[in-house]
Structures are given as structure tokens and as C-alpha cells.
Amino acid sequence: MHLKALTLRGFKSFASATTLRFEPGITCVVGPNGSGKSNVVDALSWVMGEQGAKSLRGGKMEDVIFAGAGGRPPLGRAEVSLTIDNSDGALPIDYAEVTITRTMFRNGGSEYQINGDTCRLLDVQELLSDSGIGREMHVIVGQGRLDSVLHADPMGRRAFIEEAAGVLKHRKRKEKALRKLDAMQANLARVQDLTTELR
């Protein structure tokens, strides 16, 4: 599985439709300050379901819509499509190629599509949840975050790697299961006490 293409239309500084194609391996995006490199990364988070305006470096969600620049008027909608190569079947869907599209209108309306079919945010999250590229995974390392990872103590660095590798999710599930077991043990002890009392 790898990201094949990202198309931005009316998203932040990308007023006109712009498609970036990625080959397997490492992709570097280079450009002068303010040219839109981070906006590309924001588009990637956004299409995968990011809900926090702050994480997208804005004050409110509508800030992702092209606000007008260089004589071009503001646009009424932002749309980003992410195409993922799924020929190895890593995503739980019966398509060799999956395109996720998120659209947002200035009046606040929002829409998600998977391969052209309208769906819910939850469907997008579920599709990506075990792939290592979902909303909860820190595969996107922002400029500030990179510094904190490099300067983290060994435990902090381990937590970061575990999160990126998807281990954290299982650790949290294990902790939750252990808490339930504890509660169950307490209930069992209570039942045993009551049984003893009733005898």
C-alpha cells in the first residue's frame, strides 16, 4: 500500500486543481518559504478526517477554503482527494485503488466519499484505522514535533515509535481489558462474600 496521488482544489493556497503524484519510497516536497509545502501536509491530514482547526494551523475549519489571493476571489468550497494504491489489500476494501475525497463548503456543509460513493467520516476512519495512516497515527510529523521527538527522553521516543507503529492502540486496548478484568474480579469477590453470608 502506498499513497499514489493527492489532488487539492480550493484548499488553502491551492485555488486551482493541483495534483501531486507520489511514487513508492520517500517523497520530498521542496519550495521557498510560504509556497505551500505545509499546506500539502495539512491537506493530507484533512482528507483523512482531521477535525481540529488548530492541527490544520487555522482558527476555524473554514480557514482551509481558499480565501482569495493574487487578485483571485475567495472560493466557496475546498476539496481534497487522496488516492491510495491498495493492490496488496492492506485496506479492508475490495478495490486495488482507493480514492478518499473530502469536500467542505463555506456555509459549513461537509462531505466524504470513498471511490465516488458518499459516506460518513466514520467510514473513512474505519477504512484507515488499521493501515497505519489513519487520523490517530502520528505518521505526520510537523516541524515543531520533529524537534520534540529528537529531544525526547528514551521513554518519550519509545512512545512515539509505538504510536507510529500502531502498538499504542493495542497497549490501550490491553490496559482497558485489564481494567475490566480487575472490575470483574472485584464483582466476583463481592458475589463470593454474599454467597458466604447467605449460607
Residue 37, annotated as binding a ligand: yes
Interhelix angle 154-165/143-150, nearest 10 degrees: 130
Binding residue for ligand ATP, selected from 4, 12, 48, 101, defined by CB under 6 A: 12
In the shown chain, the binding pattern of residues 20 to 59 toward ligand ATP, with x for contact by CB under 6 A and - for none, equals -----------x-xxxxxxx--------------------
As measured in angstroms, the least distance from the Cβ of 49 to ligand ATP is 19
Q: Is 39 annotated as a binding residue?
A: yes
The yes or no reply on residue 148 touching ligand ATP (CB under 6 A) is no
Does the protein bind ligand ATP through residue 16 (CB under 6 A)? no
10 binds ligand ATP (CB under 6 A): no
Q: Can you name the residues that pair with 18 across neighbouring β-strands?
A: 8
Q: Is 34 annotated as a binding residue?
A: yes
CB of residue 67 to ligand ATP, shortest distance in Å: 4
Measured distance CA(100)–CA(49) in Å, rounded: 10
Per-residue three-class SS string for 131-176: CCCCCCCCCCCCHHHHHHHHCCCHHHHHHHHHHHHCHHHHHHHHHH
Residue 97 β-bridge partners: 85
Beta carbon nearer to ligand ATP, 68 or 156? 68
63: contact with ligand ATP by CB under 6 A:
yes
Give the pairing of strands 97-105 and 110-114: antiparallel
Does the protein bind ligand ATP through residue 70 (CB under 6 A)?
Answer: no
| Closest to ligand ATP by CB, 63 or 85 | 63
> Can you read off the three cell numbers belonging to residue 19?
495534483
Distance separating alpha carbons of residues 122 and 117, to the nearest angstrom? 14
Identify the helix (H) or strand (E) that includes residue 40. Answer: helix 37-47
Residues touching ligand ATP, count (CB under 6 A): 15
Q: Does 144 bind ligand ATP (CB under 6 A)?
A: no
Question: 3-state DSSP call for residue 107?
Answer: coil
Residues annotated within a binding site: 32-39
Q: Which residues bind ligand ATP (CB under 6 A)?
A: 12-13, 31, 33-39, 63, 65-67, 69
